[in-house]
Amino acid sequence: MIHAYKMHGENIVLDVNSGAVHVLDDTAYAVLQCYDQNGTLDQEKLKRLTQFEPSALDEAVQEIEALKENHLLFTHDPYEEFIPLWTKQTVVKALCLHIAHDCNLRCSYCFAGTGEYLGARSLMSLEVGKKAIDFLIENSGNRRNLEVDFFGGEPLMNFDVVKEIVRYAREREKEAQKNFRFTITTNVLLLDEDKRNFINEHMHNVVLSLDGRKEINDEVRRRVDGSGCYDRIVPLAKKMVEERKGENYYVRGTFTRKNLDFGADVLHLADLGFEQISVEPVVANKDSGLDIRHEDLDIACQEYERLAKEYVERRKNGQWFNFFHFMVDLEGGPCVAKRLRGCGSGTEYLAVTPEGDLYPCHQFVGQKEFLLGNVFQGLNNNPVRETFVETNVYTKPECNTCWAKFYCSGGCAANAWQFNKDIKVPYDIGCALEKKRVECALWIKSQEAEQE
Amino acid sequence: MLWYQMDMEVYKMKHIKTINFSTLNKDVKKAGCGECQTSCQSACKTSCTVANQKCERK
């Protein structure tokens, strides 16, 4: 399978199964359109390319055939025999700890309501936190690297427990022969010096929430009294990044259908001096007025293309920044086994509520049919977990035939459930945006390859 | 003239420039150690992006 597309005057083709990427001139691109997905050339179509010199067409055909012979174009899928090995029941290696089901912001798009998810406001106790660490160690088999994300609601509202959980995990990791990596996702409001110091000392990564331009951010990210949070957050986030020496952080925003010109928000964050930026589409209810709709897709996709162009320009001209969704590591990225299964929700990645209940991920929390157990009693053999185990890009019809399957890994199960009530049927709006981001990422690679 | 050579950084072709060679299907037999980061923990928390993750073995 191949995916050929045009962007900003460049003709790009991705060979899906090998990961090879080529840039074609107009002649070769026209010739490539004469091939079917199996790599068979339609001579009749080729004869109709009368606008090109016959000798150039011959050269282009020769070059495409050479790529085929060298397994760089129209390659077959060599992974099928390995799928049973890669998709068997796995260990748990990552937990999202819901340290606080409470929040000091009232963001209108939040999937957690006002921080409480579908339950009551509550804080995780140290007892539950310690038990979660025990659960992770006990269920991680031989896996050495374990991850714990402190999440909410707002985890800084229960930071003493965060500190104690980190200390407990550090105590246990040596005898258990594990390596804990902690991360925290925060809205920044309570990020005082003491908390910053602790995070900088102990957290592998920190995600700082900020949506971009002040008017955009403050429209949706409001405090309990209705006021915006931009003016408080920006200096604190800058301080945090400075103290972390600009490493291992993301400023992360959300865009909605109210700011489909979200590229301006990404660039605003870059203008503020942030170099690690993630801004992604909201996943909101259909009646929220914020959700991205089918009729918005053209505008959003054009915005990604515009942003990609500006991104290349800035990176070339000394204004380097990194946009999470344009990152693609073509040479050293994850193995195909990882790419088949994506985030691992419900299998190797679970969320823990303040009460210790286990769910497939943070976005499933509170939906009782997805309750997978409790850190005190362990996993409960809920058959729904089996569905997560067997879900991968080959078991989802839409993904199996999609050119982007090894880049998005099948999309988000929670989104699939929210919109289609089936974790094997991906959220089509998310798919369209993800495919555009991958196209942009490959185009960016083509431009940066030219500069080298 | 040798116009196509596997070991070269860039193929010497007139109409096509290769910017990435076959990478996905390398080391297939060693794939799946599972030591890499859980993608949703890194920066998104609402969407799934995997291709930008790192392999722990590289």
Longest dimension (CA), chain B: 52
Sheet holding A349-352, edge to edge: A322-323, A276-281, A249-255, A203-209, A179-186, A145-151, A94-98, A349-352, A357-359, A373-374, A378-379
Rounded Cα gap, residues B25 and A18, in angstroms: 6
Q: How far is B33 from chain A (nearest CA, A)?
A: 8
A406 to chain B: nearest residue by CA? B51
pLDDT at A419: 93
| Among candidate residues B37, B40, B38, B48, the one with its CA nearest the CA of residue A409 | B48
Percent of chain A residues topping a pLDDT of 90: 87
pLDDT at A88: 73
Q: In tens digits, what is the pLDDT along chain A, a chain of 452 residues?
A: 999 999 999 999 999 999 999 999 999 999 999 999 999 999 999 999 999 999 999 999 999 999 999 999 999 998 888 888 887 767 999 999 999 999 999 999 988 888 888 888 999 999 999 999 999 999 999 999 999 999 999 999 999 999 999 999 999 999 999 999 999 999 999 999 999 999 999 999 999 999 999 999 999 999 999 999 999 999 999 999 999 999 999 999 999 999 999 999 999 999 999 999 999 999 888 878 999 999 999 999 999 999 999 999 999 999 999 999 999 888 878 888 888 888 889 999 999 999 999 999 999 999 999 999 999 999 999 999 999 999 999 999 999 999 999 998 898 999 999 999 999 999 999 999 999 999 999 999 999 998 87
Query: What does residue A179 show for φ and ψ, rounded to 5 degrees?
Result: -125, 105
- Residues in chain A with CB shorter than 8 Å from the CB of B25 are 17-19, 75, 78-79, 336
B18 to chain A: nearest residue by CA? A22
pLDDT at B1: 26
- Which residue type, as a one-letter code, is found at position A193? E
pLDDT exceeds 50 at position B9: no
CB pair distance less than 8 Å for B22 and A362: no
> At A186, is the secondary structure helix, strand, or coil?
strand
- Residues in chain B with CB shorter than 8 Å from the CB of A151 are 45
Q: How far is A208 from chain B (nearest CA, A)?
A: 9
Query: What does residue A203 show for φ and ψ, rounded to 5 degrees?
Result: -100, 130
Q: Quote the distance between the C-alpha of residue A153 and its chain's center.
A: 20
CB A333 within 8 A of CB B51: yes
Cis peptide bond prior to B32, omega within 30° of 0: no
CB A261 within 8 A of CB A303: yes
Q: What angle do CA A350, B25, A344 make, to 5 degrees?
A: 5
CB A273 within 8 A of CB A262: no
| Among candidate residues A322, A180, A197, the one with its CA nearest the CA of residue A250 | A322
pLDDT exceeds 60 at position B5: no
The residue behind tokens 């539950």 is: A128
Rounded Cα gap, residues A427 and A55, in angstroms: 46
Calculate the average pLDDT of chain A: 94
Rounded Cα gap, residues A166 and A163, in angstroms: 5
Say which of A147, A280, A282 has its CB closest to residue B44: A280
Among B10, B28, B52, B54, which would you mutate to test the A interface (most chain A Cβ atoms within 10 Å of its Cβ)?
Answer: B52
Task: Enumerate the β-bridge partners of residue A373.
Answer: A358, A379
| Among candidate residues A264, A260, A267, the one with its CA nearest the CA of residue A300 | A260
CB A275 within 8 A of CB A320: yes
CB B4 within 8 A of CB A49: no
pLDDT at A27: 98
Q: How far is B9 from chain A (nearest CA, A)?
A: 11
pLDDT exceeds 90 at position B3: no
pTM for the structure as a whole: 0.94
Interface list for A 57-96 with B (CB within 8 A): 59-60, 63-64, 66-67, 70-72, 75, 78-79, 82, 85-86, 90-91, 93-94, 96
Rounded Cα gap, residues A318 and A316, in angstroms: 6
Tell me, what's the ipTM?
0.90
Interface list for A 94-123 with B (CB within 8 A): 94, 96, 111
CB pair distance less than 8 Å for B49 and A17: no
Q: Where are the beta strands (DSSP E) in A124-275?
A: 145-151, 179-186, 203-209, 249-255
For chain A, helix, strand, coil in percent to 5 are 45, 20, 40
Q: How far is B24 from chain A (nearest CA, A)?
A: 5
Task: Note whether B5 contacts A: Cβ–Cβ < 8 A.
Answer: no
Name the band, by pLDDT with cuts 50, 70 and 90, for residue B34: confident
CB pair distance less than 8 Å for B43 and A207: yes
Task: Enumerate the β-bridge partners of residue A255.
Answer: A281
Strands A249-255 and A2-7 turn out to be unpaired
